[in-house]
Amino acid sequence: MTNPFDSGPDERLGALLRAHLDAPGHAAFVARVHRALERPAPRTSWDVLAEWVRPGLAAAACLALTMALWIGLGAPLDAEPLSLADAAQTEGLPGPLLAGADGASTDAMLAAIVGDR
């Protein structure tokens, strides 16, 4: 660099750049660049998750079917369903409270709330 304030090209710097950047195998370099451009893009995390969708849905469907069969086959088919009044009688609640609107009265409600007091 002869003059640091000169805006023209520097011959020494240009010669050094040409010596280091001019490769003898220009065709091989171009071929490497073309091969690199032809490679598929790297996979993202969304691509991985997209591959998991179908197996995940199949596993969820199998689990739902298994749970439905387990719950459905676990209950005996010949058992009669209990009414609310029958279930509450085992807990000691008065039957008239659960018998319906015509059997429940304020006295029965008060007796159920107060109890033996």
**Could you tell me the residue ranges of all domains in the chain?**
12-40+49-74, 84-114
Residue pair 12/1 in contact (Cβ under 8 Å)? The answer is: yes
Model confidence at 7, pLDDT cuts 50, 70, 90, reads: confident
The per-residue pLDDT for 97 is: 59
Is the confidence at residue 42, as pLDDT, over 80? no
